[in-house]
Structure 1
Amino acid sequence: MENRLDYAVTDLRLFDEIIKKYGWIIYENALDPQFVEEINTSLQPAYEFRRKIQLNNGIGESMDGTLHHLVEKDLFSLKFLEQKYADTQIRSLLGGQYILNSLGAVINLKNNHAYVQNIHRDIRTFTGSFKLMVQMMVILDDFTLENGATYFLSGSHQYDEKPGTAYFYDHADRALAKKGSIVLFDANLWHAAGINYTDGPRRALTMAFTKPFMKQQMDYPRFLGYAFGEGLSEDLRQVIGYNARVPADFEEYYQPVHKRMYQRGQE
């Protein structure tokens, strides 16, 4: 590929063309540096909390450096989601309203071997031109060749078959991106985190956005509380999933339209 797609694209038609051809794009200088530092500062205690659970449940080996489900009342996540980063692009790719499927992070340390370094795509079923999910990566440290910049096999979102290991690493591009950048990519795209050979961390947020009818990896509205959701903005209620819930009993099911768990316009 003749470039790394490391330029900002404001033209939606051009964005659609790039995603269709390559499957990924980088937006540099997307986040304010102070906000990046706020996120980085909060990751270590959040990781330590999750790491204890991983180890207690016997899944620590492959989870090293991974943090899942950072949607919490006192973390940065609600502030981040309220900014609606790349909202227009996500809507274009998914064809309308969307919700958050997952929001986590990776702290890639020297010679870590977490599961994210396996060649994978982030949706289990190949969906071709019908887009169900789009991925976002927020770059919290400069991504370099030495510290494990993510491999993307450009164009592989167009094909169902998993590429062979040799072919993947011979042909994949690297997401060489500056701290504060955002990477958007098609969930069908084959990719893998690189190995960090430096003494510093290579941190990133990882999240998925889907059409509203897809199940979230965690029930964020129930986790945060239905009452908590009443005080959120309409934009946050939508993206966190408050407008796309499933009733659990007849009381929740038989409600006037404006109080229904699954709201109109979620197609």
Structure 2
Amino acid sequence: MAMTIQTGTVRELHDYVVTGNARTHRSDAGSQAAVGDAVLAPLAEALERDGYAVLPDLLDGDRVAEIRAQLAPHFRDGGGRNLFEGLKTRRIYGLVEKAPASHALAEHPLVLGLLDRVLEPNYLLSQLQAIDILPGEATQPLHHDDGFYPVPRPRPPLGAATILALGDFTAENGATRVIPGSHLWDGREPSPEEAAAAVPVAMPAGSAVIFLGTLWHGGGGNDSGAPRLALTAQYCAPWCRQQENYSLSVSLQTARACSPHMQRLLGYSIHAPFMGMVDGMHPRRLLEG
């Protein structure tokens, strides 16, 4: 009996070529509500040119108030654990489980539409957290968010992030500072002069800033008399490890209640050919019981 020998590479085999790695569980990447090119194009151009773009009025006042209300019970007295987190800055991690209203930022169609242009399909949510900069906080050290991936620069970004203002951001209360164009730098750090010239992203509550993982930025110092509250969603390439371990921090019950977009972002998805599989199959089968 003659033996059939399969030839070719993995990428030539049908089931592994199809993004999503299954005929039943096709990837829904890019299937969010469409945002017109008239809106997306100038924002994408700003991302490419400057490394960041402001998204005015991304969420309305009711949604901002809902997010703030869900965050409030989880804040504790005191500040962060180190100078980077901020000794007078409060943070809440694990918001996928703790504050479902925060999903509105993580899976916003405008945000996903821009991410579709700068990251590979099936990119992941890396972290979702709240940051409350209290009065008297010093400026945060400048950094770029994908710096912990040991891939030399210059290079394309391995991630991106959004920061949503849950109250007005001003230069006095700790608005995020950015160095426009620094996403294109090689491995060098900002000079003292460049750091001093970092631009505060002032914006009203409900607006957001999106920036590439290669952009040098940092939280501003709070010289006002009130806290500066923000929600941030960070994303990474589909083959990079997420900062938050969602397999432990998000229950199956919560994951099942998430939208298909949030499920994909959490890791209930496949990056071809088979990264993310469970027992050789698509992880979304776990959500089907």
Q: TM-score if structure 2 supplies the norm length?
A: 0.73
Gaps of 5+ in 2: 1-36
Residue 179 of structure 2, aligned match among 153, 168, 173 = 153
Equivalences for residues 60-79 of structure 1 within 5 A: 62=87, 64-72=89-97, 75-79=100-104
Once residues 200 and 72 of structure 2 are traced to their aligned partners in structure 1, the CA distance between those partners, rounded to angstroms, is 26
How far 1:139 moved relative to its partner? 0.8
Query: Which residue of structure 1 lines up, in the alignment, with residue 49 of structure 2?
Result: 21
Structure 1 residue 231 displacement after superposition: 4.4
What is aligned with 2:218? 192
Q: What secondary structure is seen at the aligned counterpart in 2 of 1:42?
A: helix
- Alignment of structure 1 residues 44-59 onto 2, 5 Å: 44-48=72-76
Moved more, 18-27 or 235-244: 235-244
Q: Distance in 1 between matches of 2:165 and 2:41?
A: 25
Partner of 1:162: 189
Q: Which residue is equivalent to 1:120?
A: 143
Deviations 1:115-134 (A, max 9, x none): x7111111114554423201
Asked if residue 223 in structure 1 is aligned to residue 249 in structure 2, the reply is yes
SS in 1 for 2:67: helix
Change in 2 beyond 3 A, CA 1:149/1:78: closer
Match of 1:140 in 2: 166
Q: 1:10 to 1:87 in 2, by over 3 A?
A: farther
Contact 2:269 2:282 in 1 (8 A): no
**Percent identity over the alignment?**
25
Match of 2:127 among 96, 102, 127: 102
CA distance in 1, matches of 2:63, 2:43: 26
CA deviations on 1:133-165 (whole Å, 9 max, x unpaired) are 011000111111221222111001111211123
- From 130, 135, 147, give the equivalent of 2:156: 130
Retained in 2: the 8 A contact 1:221–1:229? Answer: no
CA contact (8 A) 1:144 1:177 kept: yes
Shift of 1:16: 2.8
Q: 1:36 aligns with which of 64, 72, 79?
A: 64
CA distance in 2, matches of 1:100, 1:154: 24
Q: What SS does the corresponding residue of 2:128 show, helix, strand or coil? A: strand
Indicate the SS of the match to 2:143: coil
Question: Which residue does the alignment assign to 2:27?
Answer: none
What residue number does 2:34 align with?
Answer: none
Distance 1:89 1:25 in 2: 10
Q: CA deviation at 1:97?
A: 2.4
Q: Deviations over 1:37-63 (max 9, x none)?
A: 1112232321229x69x77xxx99747
Q: How does 1:234-253 map to 2 (within 5 A)?
A: 234-244=260-270, 246=276, 252-253=278-279
TM-score, scaled relative to structure 1: 0.78
Deviates more, 1:131-140 or 1:160-169: 160-169
What is the CA–CA distance in structure 2 between the aligned matches of 1:64 and 1:257, rounded to whole Å?
A: 36
Equivalent-residue separation in structure 2 for 1:231 and 1:206 (angstroms): 21
The equivalent residue for 1:90 is 115
- 1: distance between equivalents of 2:176 and 2:122? 28
Q: 1:71: how far off?
A: 1.5
Distance 1:152 1:256, change over 3 A: closer
Unaligned runs of 5+ in 1: 1-8, 262-267
CA deviations on 1:46-85 (whole Å, 9 max, x unpaired) are: 1229x69x77xxx997473222231215542335445444
Report the CA distance between 1:96 and its aligned residue: 2.2
Larger radius of gyration: 2
In the alignment of these two chains, the number of paired residues is: 243
